[in-house]
Structure 1
Amino acid sequence: MSKIIRLAAISAAIALVATPALAHPGHLAGAGFLDGVAHPLGGLDHLIAMVTVGVYGVTIGGRAVLAVPGAFLAAMLAGGLFALTGGQLPLVEPAIYASTVVLALLCVMPVSRNGVTGMVFAAGFGLFHGFAHGAEMPVDAAALGYAAGFLASTAGLHAVGVAIGLGLHRLIGRPEQDSQAA
């Protein structure tokens, strides 16, 4: 089995475990930093998407290791602020679900090994994830603390993804090595 097929199988398995938007069942009144930290950890869809962003950055390599997660975080903050100001964004839950599958597929698609492409996809999905965080924030929440919490938690999940990506590439090699060897 080639290295790229093994990486595709691993990515597909991760994507298939995802469940639709389980991280949004409601929050505690007075939510602050710790509730913001807990929010991304409470749903498999968030866990998979945010970890996969880190893996995808490693798959692209170079500056993308930081730029792809950075684009996700920046767009997530923008999406959260947009929701807090009363903005409307259609198809939020389907986009969050799609992020788990699309990001996993991007990890194994050779055409997606471009830093700008990676940042665009990460930012697009980050916007939807952030909007969900902002839209479902309790009215009396400490918005700044809550936002800082979910940003910190998300950055941690991206770091886990980077570590997993580096480990996978050490274990099975970078997909680019397969195509260059052919």
Structure 2
Amino acid sequence: MSKITLLAALSAAIALAAAPALAHPGHLAGAGFLDGAAHPLGGLDHLIVIVTVGVYGATIGGRSALAVPGAFMAAMLAGGLFAILGGGLPLVEPTIYASIVVLALLCIMPMSRNGSVGMAFAAGFGLFHGFAHGAEMPADAAALGYAAGFLVSTAGLHAAGIALGLAIRKLIGRPEEAVQ
């Protein structure tokens, strides 16, 4: 079995392991920094996507290792604020599920090694993930503390994904250099 085939099988297995979006409305009680920090860990869909964004950035390489997760976090914050302010987005849950599959595929597709493309995908999916979190934030939440906890936890998961992505690059050999 080739290394690319093995990586594709692993990515597909991770994508298929995603459970229903248990990180969404009604599954979290609480309202502070620690609740926000725990939130990304409570839903397998979010956990997989956040780590995969880090993997994707690392597989692109260069500045993208930080820029792709940074774009996700910035858009996630914007999406959360949009939801808190009463905005609406269609197809939030299907988009979150699609993000699992699309990001896993982008990690293994050689033609997706473009930093700008990576940032665009990450930001688009981050907007929907953030919207879901903003929409479900407890009414009694200290929004700033909750958001800060969520961002810190997300950054840690991105870092784990970056480390995993660098290990994957080493395992399969360094793919062609990224287009920044």
1:22 Cα deviation (Å)?
Answer: 2.0
Between stretches 96-105 and 167-176, larger displacement belongs to 167-176
Measure the CA separation in 2 of the matches of 1:17 and 1:66: 26
Measure the CA separation in 2 of the matches of 1:139 and 1:122: 28
Correspondences of 1:39-118 after superposition (within 5 Å): 39-118=39-118
Two-structure CA RMSD over aligned residues (Å): 1.3
Measure the CA separation in 2 of the matches of 1:28 and 1:22: 13
1:170 Cα deviation (Å)?
Answer: 1.8
Residue-by-residue CA offset, 1:122-177 (whole Å, 9 max, x unaligned): 00000001001100001111000000011111111100000111112222323449
Q: Give the SS at the match of 2:55.
A: helix
Gaps of 5+ in 1: 178-182
Gaps of 5+ in 2: none
Paired residues of 1:68 and 1:118 also in contact (CA < 8 A): yes
1:28 corresponds to: 29
Measure the CA separation in 1 of the matches of 2:172 and 2:64: 20
Measure the CA separation in 2 of the matches of 1:62 and 1:103: 18
Measure the CA separation in 2 of the matches of 1:128 and 1:70: 15
Measure the CA separation in 2 of the matches of 1:45 and 1:82: 21
Q: Give the SS at the match of 2:105.
A: helix
Measure the CA separation in 2 of the matches of 1:115 and 1:20: 30
Paired positions, count: 176
Measure the CA separation in 1 of the matches of 2:174 and 2:136: 39
Paired residues of 1:53 and 1:69 also in contact (CA < 8 A): yes
1:51 Cα deviation (Å)?
Answer: 0.2
Residue-by-residue CA offset, 1:34-86 (whole Å, 9 max, x unaligned): 00001000010011000000000011111100000000000000000000100
Q: Give the SS at the match of 1:107.
A: helix
Q: Give the SS at the match of 2:108.
A: coil
Residue-by-residue CA offset, 1:3-59 (whole Å, 9 max, x unaligned): 222221221111111123221143214x11000001000010011000000000011
1:110 Cα deviation (Å)?
Answer: 1.4
Paired residues of 1:20 and 1:93 also in contact (CA < 8 A): no
Give TM-score scaled by structure 2 length. Answer: 0.93
1:127 corresponds to: 127
Measure the CA separation in 1 of the matches of 2:161 and 2:99: 15
2:159 corresponds to: 159
